[in-house]
Amino acid sequence: MPKYSLGEIASRMNGEVQGDPDVMITGVAGLEEAEEGDISFVANRRYHDRIASTKAAAVIVGQGNGAAQSEKNCLIVPNPYLTFLLTVELFHPQNSDFEPSVHPTAVVDPTARIGERVFIGALVVVGAGASIGDDVILQARSYVGERAGIGDKSRVMPGAIVLHDVMVGKRCLLQSGCVLGGDGFGFVCDNKGVQQKIPQVAGLIIGDDVEIGANSTIDRGTLSPTRIGSGVKCDNLVHIGHNVEIGENTLVVAQVGVSGSTKVGSSVIMAGQAGIGGHLNIGDRVKIGAQAGVTKSVPAGLEISGYPARPHAESLRAQASVGKLPRLVRQFRELLERVKKLEDKL
């Protein structure tokens, strides 16, 4: 792990030191987990009183917020959380395990084009006609199929699989075990009840700055490609069906499933285990609750939840009513009796 004085960190982060600029920082941690030598942070004024009790050697804090009263060494910056993230990267430089090189056990087809400063690990396979950009990292046991492309600065983690003809943009992170470009699930039932496969011959096009989680699967298109927009982030065990299109900066949380031919807008959030039906349109900035089951198209900006998914407020009201339902049934029976008595009286 590298070491920096607080003053060095301050000058890299354009911050101001309050206290000892020569204190040596050897790691990063949360306020409560911090040990001697660590630097930590407080993003919210409400937690400033916790600064006194941390073991951290220094704390990153916001400007003009009473940190001056503290005896702790402080690094004062406009956005403490963002500065903390950058400091984490300073101590844990990404990709430092990967000096440009090609491992002798890698199987790289001679017709593949390989960019500059590429790392290709042990037992990697790169197929015929594949194209690997500059500064790409293909970790051990990853797979890039025939004619597939990986953009500059992208990283493919151990065991990730990019199948034939799939195009991946720049600065993407493909986590272990993901499968990009599997055949979509398309069959026609013939008149004997046997399912005949519909050939899945189109590709999968993934934009820049996309992250795909471990063991997620994104299928290739049937006749026109499946498309994942730039900036999309997918968690683990996500399924995205054939012919789907997902807009920019959309978040897809773990175990979500998006059925075939659905179009999802940009800046959408799909929470964990939600399921989206096929051939739907999900507008920009829609928020879909965890485990929601989406059966209809959703206009832009709406927040929905439940099964079948409804506007979130409506869904909450319905859930609350269901909780009260057993009591309602009891009260209803009592009321029936009372009405009967009234009827008898008249």
Segment lying near its own copies (by CB under 8 A), choices 10-18, 59-67, 69-77, 117-125: 117-125
**Interaction of residue 4 with its own copies, rule CB under 8 A:** no
Calculated CA dihedral for residues 16, 22, 24, 30, nearest 10 degrees: -30
Residue from 114, 140, 280, 302 binding its own copies (CB under 8 A)? 140
Q: Which is nearer to its own copies, 7 or 159 (CB)?
A: 159
Q: Which is nearer to its own copies, 71 or 189 (CB)?
A: 189
- CA dist list (Å): 135 to 43, 47, 128, 173, 179: 34, 41, 20, 13, 22
Q: How many CB atoms lie within 10 A of CB 188?
A: 9
39 burial via Cβ count (<10 Å: 0-12, 13-18, 19+): buried
Choosing from 92, 164, 239, 242, the catalytic residue is: 242
Q: Which is nearer to its own copies, 64 or 323 (CB)?
A: 323
**Which two tokens mark 32?**
């409560």
Q: Which is nearer to its own copies, 18 or 135 (CB)?
A: 135
Q: Which residue has the tokens 């949360």?
A: 30
Segment lying near its own copies (by CB under 8 A), choices 53-61, 65-73, 182-190, 296-304: 182-190
Q: Which is nearer to its own copies, 64 or 104 (CB)?
A: 104
Find the binding residues for its own copies in span 86-115 (CB under 8 A).
88-89, 91-92, 94, 97, 103, 105, 107
**Interaction of residue 322 with its own copies, rule CB under 8 A:** yes
Residue from 25, 28, 56, 288 binding its own copies (CB under 8 A)? 28
**Interaction of residue 188 with its own copies, rule CB under 8 A:** yes
Find the binding residues for its own copies in span 37-56 (CB under 8 A).
none
**Interaction of residue 329 with its own copies, rule CB under 8 A:** yes
Distance (Å, rounded) from C-alpha 258 to C-alpha 253?
Answer: 11
Q: Which is nearer to its own copies, 66 or 278 (CB)?
A: 278
**Interaction of residue 300 with its own copies, rule CB under 8 A:** no
C-alpha Rg value of the chain to the nearest Å: 27
The pairing of beta strand 167-168 with beta strand 251-252: unpaired
Find the binding residues for its own copies in span 153-172 (CB under 8 A).
157-159, 161, 163-164
Calculated CA dihedral for residues 282, 283, 288, 291, nearest 10 degrees: 0
Kindly state the smallest distance separating residue 117's Cβ from its own copies, in Å.
Answer: 20
Distance (Å, rounded) from C-alpha 331 to C-alpha 100?
Answer: 74
Kindly state the smallest distance separating residue 136's Cβ from its own copies, in Å.
Answer: 18
Residue from 13, 185, 297, 302 binding its own copies (CB under 8 A)? 185
Catalytic: 48?
no
Q: Using an 8 Å Cβ cutoff, are 181 and 200 in contact?
A: no
Distance (Å, rounded) from C-alpha 220 to C-alpha 185?
Answer: 10
- CA dist list (Å): 233 to 166, 173, 286: 18, 9, 15
Residue from 15, 133, 265, 277 binding its own copies (CB under 8 A)? 277
- The upper half-sphere exposure of residue 185, i.e. CA atoms within 13 Å in the direction of its Cβ, equals 9
Tell me, residue by residue from 219 to 258, as one string, x for binding to its own copies by CB under 8 A and - for no binding.
Answer: x---xx------x-x-xxx-x-x-------x-x-xxx-x-
Task: Write out the catalytic residue numbers.
Answer: 242
